[in-house]
Chains A and B, each alone.
Chain A
């Protein structure tokens, strides 16, 4: 048989339609067969019939062949497309590598944008969005008592009534959490412990991984003390024993550890050890607000409905117990909201700011890619003339953008990881950074951003380029002419970027100003030059009613005061800015205890020791402070603050007036409580926070109050040298008094600044966004202006040749910059004003409509724009007309 074929390929042979392809092949077969049979001498008719017969069902064969061929071609096309994509990617990489400057700027810009958003999103996701790690967290609520001075802790007696009478809750618990000294592990530890009431493990139905939970009989006064510990405590400090039989710890009592909770459970607030609070003798006063409370709502009950029910119960209790009753109702808040509390708004604001920042980054990149795309117009038009289709070119450009976007996203995720690590120590306590991480959600979010960014800044220039007709494009590329339309697009991008930067910048300036106001706010004491030393006497060795507590303090004070450089030393049961509690009511001599049927003496209760006022830098305004003579056997004396004096004795001399605490340190109203004579007035200090009002406060000396009130105190030590130099000596003297007492040392300014961690966090993060946005704007404006100057070299040359002065030329360049920047500035100012409501809630002492701030932001951006266009303008002035006009 013959196999020689003409080697000439038929043109377009591969694009023959399927039906045609199949039909021709089969026809060819039949013709050949007929010809062969005819050669053997058959007539045409016979030959045709014979050929058809031996072929079989031609129609079926044809159909089958078509089906197979269609399938085959489809799969070939798919493979082709993949091949082209790969090719695009390879080419894209090559192009990006050839322009390292552009690529680097683009990736860094994008990484900053996505990194900022991904970091903020992780925080928001971890803190606000992801449900709390407890069973059915949406049913968990905090319960607070409301009274005339706000809302807060509950009293034990009221809590018991609410728990017994309420039908809205499946369970309710009151608790208190504090850092305590624990003995029984390898060394004395400072551990977060929680005293919890019987309902706690019904509100949080955890199943111990080892041992058991306390049984109801153990939630009773006088029962044998037990405790459960966290999985982490069991593992890290107890050495993971399989049996808890011999595991005993010394807290307030010698407790038997009976159970280990599952890993990760640490409510409330990182607690490691839980024990029944019923072991403690409780004040039954209904104005002693000592405990926090949480509840688990019955399913289907809303927090509002529950609050209404509690309101009713409390309203019913009031008449029974007045005047020892100050609750006007209850506040029920979702636990997640309550825990994130004040950080919710700042976090959402920061997330929005990071999104705005990303937008600014994208518009920066878009103008960069557009400029570069125009520079590549020549190359692209040549390729187009050589037969590359427009879609092919657009796809190439899109692939390049996608490569940038993906690299940017990856770099952004890395950056976000770094940012989170930097932010962790700065984050306020409400932001549980241990629950924040870059997980699947965040990674998906970043990839999503990358995708959107690709469309945003890739598609746009791609469309512009691929719609430009080849001829115009070639001519433009040759002549170096920036089309009016393209300039308009640029101006738009620059304006948008400037506007976003103004908004971010003015927002951060406002926050910075507000932070400054907060820091300037009158604290009532002098933190500079003092050390804060927190001491918590382990209750095992210092029982609540033992004189050993005051003995410790007297010994410690004596040694501290003797240290070189120490000017004054004293202590207080709770330092300023660290919360209102404990609070209590005061009976004022000569005034009706309860004129309006409600307690009016509600004030902040402080017990001090040593020369506390001088150590804190609180000048005694009238009378005297406590002295060595005010001991347990001396006449009882009190010092009140200005706010207290103003409220109780307006216009009178408070000295010599007599007061007594009501039901504060006893289980019932104690008639044997003696009168305390007011001997001094001190300035008011801020108790719950820098921006809180000054609350009336009274002070006693620790020797004249029950010892347990000063089992946990903060010493203030004023020194004439650097506060840090005092750390080691202070540690040493406390060890000399009792080596089993752990101490926590910080300078007083540190103690103050930790209370503004949330503001500082918001300010720092937004400030960073603002600064970076300014930087981006400078880079963006510089890029666009210098590109437009390069494009107009020829025009500028002509103008120069026709006699334009350097001044005129630079005015031309600056003018075109301003044309883009000024609308941006105006837009940014409007944007800022529109945003002021969102920002207003976070500000203190500054109006969101702060004209100087807006001026600063607008001015900074305007100046940045001018600086960014100075270099290109200078370049334009130096254009040599001859060279410029020759440049093609």
Chain B
């Protein structure tokens, strides 16, 4: 892993997982692979960290799990977004978007009268 890789901000991981599941049910490995591919290996995510995160989301009733046969014919714990999860995702995405906009605006602003 190089210095170019991004450290994941606290709280953003859950949003990414929910977003992934918004396309449809998936098991843990599929989620992990999707995140890796999407971010182009730029995000540092210890793969193991995904699982406690999934369990916590399940505890909050945002996702639910079920053991199913996977494409490889093996049993996999498959997660699915619940109705509450959908709502939570919408809320979180909006919040993050606003955060990023405001953050960017401040970063790009040039000093006016106030600071000179």
Contacts and interface: CB of A to CB of B under 8 A. Distances in A.
B33 A5 contact: no
A68 B55 contact: yes
Given A68-B56, A72-B58, A56 B72 contact: no
A520 interface: no
Contacts of B32: 29
B59 interface: yes
A57 B48 CA distance: 7
Contacts of B24: 3
A332 B34 CA distance: 93
Contacts of A21: 77
A26 B27 CA distance: 11
Contacts of A55: 46-48
Interface stretch (A9-17, A591-599, A663-671): A9-17
Contact of A71 (B47, B59, B76): B59
B25 A61 contact: no
A491 to B, nearest CB: 55
A4 B59 contact: no
Contact of B29 (A8, A32, A54, A75): A32
A724 interface: no
A45 interface: no
B68 A3 contact: no
B82 to A, nearest CB: 14
Interface in A1-41: 1-10, 13, 16, 21-22, 24-26, 28-29, 31-33, 35-36
Given A25-B28, A29-B32, A72-B55, A5 B71 contact: yes
A138 interface: no
A25 B52 CA distance: 11
A10 B73 CA distance: 12
Contacts of B71: 2, 4-5
B74 interface: yes
A65 interface: yes
A5 B49 CA distance: 24
Contacts of A4: 71
B75 interface: yes
B70 interface: yes
Contact of A28 (B33, B37, B66, B74): B74
A69 interface: yes
Given A3-B30, A28-B77, A13 B48 contact: no
Interface string B15-26: 000000001111
Contacts of A68: 52, 55-56, 59
Contacts of A69: 55
A54 B72 CA distance: 22
Interface string B94-111: 000000000000000000
Contacts of B49: 56, 61
A33 B59 contact: no
A148 interface: no
Given A25-B51, A58-B48, A69-B55, A8 B75 contact: no
A522 interface: no
Contacts of A24: 75, 77
Contacts of A646: none
A569 to B, nearest CB: 90
A2 B73 CA distance: 13
B105 to A, nearest CB: 36
A64 interface: yes
A13 B67 contact: yes
A28 B72 CA distance: 11
Given A1-B34, A65-B51, A72-B55, A28 B27 contact: yes
Contacts of B68: 5-10
Contacts of B46: 54-56
A75 B59 CA distance: 9
Interface string A62-85: 001100110110010000000000
A10 B30 contact: no
B55 A10 contact: no
B78 interface: yes
A1 B30 contact: yes
B29 A28 contact: yes
A8 to B, nearest CB: 6
A5 B25 contact: yes
A33 B52 contact: no
A29 B69 contact: no
A51 to B, nearest CB: 8
B51 A61 contact: yes
Given A55-B46, A56-B46, A5 B69 contact: yes
8 contacts: A10-B75, A24-B75, A24-B77, A25-B28, A25-B77, A28-B28, A32-B29, A68-B52
Minimum-distance CB pairs A-B, first 7: A56-B46, A56-B48, A6-B69, A61-B48, A13-B67, A68-B55, A32-B29
Interface of A: 1-10, 13, 16, 21-22, 24-26, 28-29, 31-33, 35-36, 54-58, 60-61, 64-65, 68-69, 71-72, 75
Given A4-B71, A33-B47, 12 more contacts: A1-B30, A2-B30, A5-B68, A8-B69, A10-B67, A13-B66, A28-B29, A28-B76, A32-B29, A56-B47, A61-B52, A75-B59
